[in-house]
A = this chain, B = another copy of it.
Amino acid sequence: MTDRSSWYCGAVSSPNRPLRVDAARNREHLLAAAEAEFAERGLSVSVADIALRAGIAKGTVFRHFASKEDLIASIVSGHLTALTGCAERLADAADPGDALWEFLSFAADQRHRHNIDFLWAVSEGDARVTELRDRLFSGIERLVVRAHQVEAIRSDVTASDVYLLMCAPVHAVENLPNPSPDLWKRYLGIIFDGLRPEGANPLSEPAPTVF
Q: Which residues of A contact B (CB under 8 A)?
A: 42, 44, 118, 121, 157, 161, 163-165, 167-168, 171-173, 175-176, 179-180, 182-183, 185-187, 189-208, 210
Contact = CB atoms under 8 A, between A and B. Distances in A.
B176 A172 contact: no
Contacts of A179: 208
A173 B164 contact: yes
Given A157-B190, A182-B204, A186-B208, 17 more contacts: A161-B186, A163-B175, A164-B176, A165-B168, A165-B172, A167-B175, A168-B168, A168-B171, A168-B187, A180-B205, A186-B206, A189-B202, A190-B195, A193-B194, A193-B201, A197-B199, A199-B199
A119 to B, nearest CB: 13
* Secondary structure type dominating chain A contacts: loop
Contact of A191 (B176, B185, B191): B191
